[in-house]
Amino acid sequence: MEIAPEHQPFIIAIDGPAGSGKTTTAKALAKELGFIYVDTGAMYRAVALFAQRRKVLFTDHDAICALLPDVDIRLERKDGEQHTLLNGKDVETHIRTQEMSRAASDISAIPCVREAMVDLQRRAAREAHGAVLEGRDIGTVVFPDSPCKIFLVADAPTRARRRKLQLEEKGISADYDTILREIEERDRNDAGREHSPLRKATDAIEVETTNTSIDEQVSMILSLVQRRIDQFRKGHTE
Ligand code: DC
């Protein structure tokens, strides 16, 4: 049975490189609009953690694909925060390490992993009346028909400074040069892979945030999204 367009969930796609402000923006939009928030990077991180725990090399694609039937990933909200559950256990803190950032980037280049995660992401979003998804390929692959695509960019030093601050806020001391190097490596990895590389969808709105505070960024994107939603609803009622 076909679902009429006005009854389909409104999907907001937020893509961009590491540290571009996707999470803060996506969470704020979801809260403001009453939509669900889906952090797709957390799913790749959870698969990477599972592989590490099973002592499977991230380069062994066949072994990683063979693990997938044993991986159950759920995203749940607890006290207003998203928690990632891997086979029923909360792994939120375990997946946020620098090691898992790199591992998730490596593992996300494997086609069978992408297929399984994209399927999960589509199912999660379709259960809601509206969803904000953040990732690398939401506007290009997961929901190419989304009426509202945002592509965030900022230069690497700015993103490294933001990441350092975020880590310090969590009580984790971090070296700026190391973070910058990791961000640049991850950019190359995510944008250079063969399957679903990080790139701007042709119809995405690019928002450059290097010289913008996060509050300015959020309120600017919110009004932009609000206009899109109004246009979309008007289009379906005329
Ligand atoms: O957004 P993040 O830093 O948590 O993502 C971790 C890695 O997962 C990222 O470096 C690339 C991969 N990823 C992806 O390939 N596609 C997505 N939609 C989200 C993340």
Give the mean pLDDT per block of 10 residues along the chain (238 residues).
61 96 93 94 98 96 97 89 94 92 95 97 91 97 96 96 88 90 95 93 95 91 91 73
Is 208 within a domain? Answer: yes
| Residue 3 confidence (pLDDT) | 47
Is 3 within a domain? Answer: no
CATH code for the domain in which residue 55 is found: 3.40.50.300
Is 2 within a domain? Answer: no
Structural domains counted in the chain:
1
| Residue 55 confidence (pLDDT) | 97
Is 195 within a domain? Answer: yes
Q: Measured between alpha carbons, how far is 113 from 124 in angstroms, rounded to an integer?
A: 17
**Length of the chain (residues):** 238
| Residue 7 confidence (pLDDT) | 63
Is 200 within a domain? Answer: yes
Ligand 1: does its nearest atom lie under 6 Å from the Cβ of 113? Answer: no
Domain that holds residue 30: 10-235
Is 1 within a domain? Answer: no
Long-range contacts, 156-164 (Cβ 8 Å, 24+): 156/180, 156/183, 156/184, 156/187, 158/19, 158/209, 158/210, 159/17, 159/18, 159/19, 159/20, 159/183, 160/19, 162/19, 162/21, 163/18, 163/19
Is 80 within a domain? Answer: yes
Ligand 1: does its nearest atom lie under 6 Å from the Cβ of 41? Answer: yes
Hey, whose CA ends up nearest to atom 18 of ligand 1? 135
Is 4 within a domain? Answer: no
| Residue 81 confidence (pLDDT) | 82
Q: Measured between alpha carbons, how far is 44 from 121 in angstroms, rounded to an integer?
A: 11
Atom of ligand 1 nearest to the CA of 134: 18
| Residue 153 confidence (pLDDT) | 96
Q: Measured between alpha carbons, how far is 66 from 151 in angstroms, rounded to an integer?
A: 33
Helical packing angle, 98-107 and 40-53, nearest 10° = 100
| Residue 2 confidence (pLDDT) | 46
| Residue 237 confidence (pLDDT) | 62
